[in-house]
Structure 1
């Protein structure tokens, strides 16, 4: 705006100079911009809450249904792995029970067969475990987004000013009053909002694939949300 005014004034001065030799007054300098007022922080009463977020995700009714779905998917593979593991154990017992008159060639052949089957067992168990963990991670990611929205709404509606996640084993909270833990409250709030009923207890056979010796093991809890 100031620049436009200055240009118009300059043009006016030029026209006046052509029509009459009268002297025109100099344009006033532009005013310096006013600095914004500084923001003054204000202290407010603190209301702190704690939540075990990782555990809460799969503790919801919908989360339990998701876990059981993943477990059911891998039941056939688990049965195959268990059958192969039993076969390897049986072959080892047969080897140990061989009489002293058994030839070295026979023992070597049995050992080679056991080694081949045991390696296959470990590969199958590791592959199944990797696939199981990936599916569990995917299910956790989908559920975590939903539970996170409920969690944020809950703490905002209840006037909390700070929320700390104590899911990990290494968290900075050494002690807190039990009343500050809102994990169960968030789980109940999500169950109410989702309308998903609690699933029946899983059958003993509906478990994750059992890793063989040397195979990778699944974590006890789902990976932490990014």
Structure 2
């Protein structure tokens, strides 16, 4: 705001200074205005490429390493939840094999203990799953930004005029020639540029955590 006022003041001072000679000067004819001809759009041959962007990010060496690191971080929590689940399962089996002579008070107490432990198990598993997915989303986003740059460079260098992301299950693409899919080519290009070596294969993530991370938004065009 101060900068704008300063410019307006300076502009006003310049006009006042030039006003005196302008009053005695002979009127000048207005300068002829020139108009530029509108630029007509030019049709160019279309060259279309398809990419599964989410899968590409996760398939890069850096993406795989990042997810493995998150999985390693949650291994202690996974072991804890498995122990809780085994304890609940044992209590349920004991309850099923309990003698018929078990008193109502004892039966009620056992059922209450099972219910309490099972609720705690479900709560801990849900919290761990949400935290895990949030961490995966975070590392996914960081790698996705860099893969996005490589992807754009690749399609530009190879003369593509349109790139479609077919990651989503609701993709409108029903069929395409195989050589239009540049997913693997972009993965290879990024692995080369990043210099990150392929990770050592790890054990699959637990079922409670096995959620395919999806970016909250597609890369900005």
Alignment TM-score, normalising by the size of structure 1: 0.83
CA distance in 2, matches of 1:187, 1:7: 70
CA distance in 2, matches of 1:135, 1:97: 42
Paired residue for 2:44?
44
Paired residue for 1:223?
215
Q: CA deviation at 1:102?
A: 0.5
Q: CA deviation at 1:40?
A: 0.4
Gaps of 5+ in 2: 1-14
Paired residue for 2:56?
56
Q: CA deviation at 1:175?
A: 1.2
CA distance in 1, matches of 2:160, 2:19: 55
Q: CA deviation at 1:224?
A: 4.7
Gaps of 5+ in 1: 14-26, 212-216
Task: Give the total of aligned pairs.
Answer: 203
Q: Is the 8 A contact 2:137 2:213 kept in 1?
A: no
Q: CA deviation at 1:7?
A: 6.9
- Does residue 11 (structure 1) correspond to residue 3 (structure 2)? The answer is no
1:50/1:175 CA distance change after superposition, 3 Å? same
* SS of match in other structure, 1:98: coil
Alignment of 1:1-226 (within 5 A): 8-12=21-25, 27-31=27-31, 33-204=33-204, 207-208=205-206, 210-211=207-208, 219-226=211-218
Q: CA deviation at 1:34?
A: 2.4
Q: CA deviation at 1:174?
A: 1.5
RMSD: 2.1
* SS of match in other structure, 2:200: coil
Q: Please state which structure has a larger fraction of its residues in helix.
A: 2
